[in-house]
Chains A and B, each alone.
Chain A
Amino acid sequence: MDKAIIVDHLVKNFEVIEKKPGLKGAIDSIVSPKKKIIRALKNISFTIQPGELVGFIGPNGAGKTTTLKILSGLLYPTAGFTSVLGYDPWERKPEFLKKISLVMGQKNQLWWDLPAAETLELNRAIYEIPKKEYEEVVSELVTLLEVGKLLNIQVRRLSLGQRMRLELVAALLHTPKVLYLDEPTIGLDLIAQQKMRDFIYEYNRRHEATILLTSHNMDDLMTLARRVIVIDEGQILFDGALEELVSRFAKEKIIKVSLSREDDVKKIETIGKVKKISFPEVILSVPREAVAVAAAELLQNFPVSDLTIEEIPIEDVIRKVFRGEMRRSLKK
């Protein structure tokens, strides 16, 4: 088996019954339900190599989580083919479930009224982990995530950050070969986010685990994902290296000029969109194909002491992706 994950022409439709507000709406929805089909995934395909760490990005409701849920065997695909480690996820065979894990930032498996240690013991039995291996894994995870002191405290008394780290211990107890992380840093403070990222990086490296991650956190993607899949409205818009995303989507380049003396700013605006002026520096954004002409013009007509041409920062591109601007810019 050379591919860890294969997704081929995957389609997922949800049928929903529309509900209007109020009592009348509620009665209408029972008496004459108006069914509506939501096309969550429209024919997507990709493959992932073993050990790869891939980031899924896109605005809310793009279909990222739906994809993860299908790959975990939770949702029944409407059409298309999926295979994870050679298994059909939907069959949810025990051997398959023992090799994967899905961690959702807003979903918890820890027993709320009991200390986390109890859930861990339960998972040890459920995943049939030998005692010795279990102890090794727990001590490794507990050290990496710094949760040693929290194991015997009732889960309800823990903070969100503490709980999330313990959730991760519970989810990784069986050392999954494929790990799906849905917004792993949501709601965490900056330090906790950093810890979580370090851990994910370490886990991927140490166990050669295949990791699929969705996040709205720029830093998560920039530090962890070498490859990203941009998905919006159920379609894949881009699949490749993070750096490539910029050259592919950024229609503009950035020119930074330093002026030797103050000059007519109005005149500069004819060359490109002025993004920032703080004398002596002026930042312009210019269409990619016009960048050479614009630079020449600047050098010729303005008192330029320095000039650089740069790509739009990755952050700005990702931000555009989150706002759903990618689709619009592609359609243009």
Chain B
Amino acid sequence: MSIKKYISIFKISFAQEFAYRLNFIMWRVRNVMQILLLFFLWTTVFSDPTRVVFGYNRAKILTYVFGILVVKAVVLSARTVDVAGEISRGDLTNLLLKPINYFKYWLTRDLSSKTLNFTFAAFEMLILFFILKPPIFLQTETILLLGFIASLFLAMLLFFEILMITNFIPFWAPEMGWASQFLVIVIVTEFLSGALFPLDILPLSIQKFLYFTPFPYLIFFPIQVYLGKITGTVLLGGLLIGLFWVFVLWIAMGWIWRRGLLIYRAEGR
């Protein structure tokens, strides 16, 4: 019975995204431009097809670039970015009054956003594939594909939690919503997750440190699994660290949420 609520939320959220068609299209165009930029950058670096840099040959680096397109669409597209505004404007009131679980509500809305973005990303990738004809690496090992899907699932949850926690800041500092979002999402997350460049070009000590933070598990780790660069016990270990962070951040998120509600003022406009 309860699942019906969330199906309805999924549907209306989907309809809402379509209300801003132009906005959505511009967002997709931005993504495609980013991919083109990365594509041409790396093709230049690997103009000699036999060249291998940081363990990447031409096919793998280009798969990485295309992988970013898909993984970003699945992991980094989220509606939860609206939470901060909702709290500072006092619109949170509307949801608090309803018999729904706040986290499930936003997870559902994220899911609808991801579905839409993923559909478009897949479509864009197909077009770019035919235009650019890049040599793409196809993973065929079932274990690694399963690992890839599992790591994507973890990544989605991790990003949801990081975003949610960041968006709770306006409970304490109502005017900080946008700034904190920018800092955490655009700078920290994009940079440290491997959405701009593969993280294994960084010095080894930094890489090792990063693996203990939640960030690489958002983008870099799933793509590495797909590329077959992370296998066996390292794969399992990575999934466990990711799971650990999902768990820790979930507890933190709930705790911060309850603290926030204690001082929530339900302000009007």
Q: Which residues of A contact B (CB under 8 A)?
A: 14-15, 65, 69, 72-76, 92, 94-95, 97-98, 100-102, 104, 106-109, 111, 113-114, 118-119, 121-128
Contact = CB atoms under 8 A, between A and B. Distances in A.
A14 B5 CA distance: 35
Interface stretch (B12-20, B45-53, B182-190): B12-20
Interface string B69-95: 000000000000000000000110110
Contact of A104 (B2, B4, B99, B268): B268
B126 interface: no
A113 B16 contact: yes
13 contacts: A65-B268, A76-B261, A102-B97, A111-B16, A114-B15, A119-B12, A121-B12, A123-B98, A125-B4, A126-B9, A126-B100, A128-B2, A128-B4
Interface of B: 1-2, 4-5, 7-9, 12, 15-16, 19-20, 90-91, 93-94, 96-100, 261-266, 268-269
Given A76-B263, A107-B269, 17 more contacts: A15-B263, A65-B268, A69-B93, A69-B266, A75-B264, A92-B96, A94-B99, A97-B98, A98-B99, A101-B97, A108-B94, A114-B19, A125-B4, A125-B9, A126-B5, A126-B100, A127-B99
A interface secondary structure, majority = mixed
Nearest to B1: A128
A118 to B, nearest CB: 6
B265 A118 contact: no
Given A74-B97, A126-B99, A106 B268 contact: yes
A-B pairs, 4 with minimum CB distance:
A125-B8, A113-B19, A94-B99, A74-B266
Contacts, number: 80
A72 B264 CA distance: 13
Nearest to B269: A106
Nearest to A113: B19
A19 to B, nearest CB: 10
Contacts of A97: 97-99
B144 to A, nearest CB: 39
A15 B172 CA distance: 11
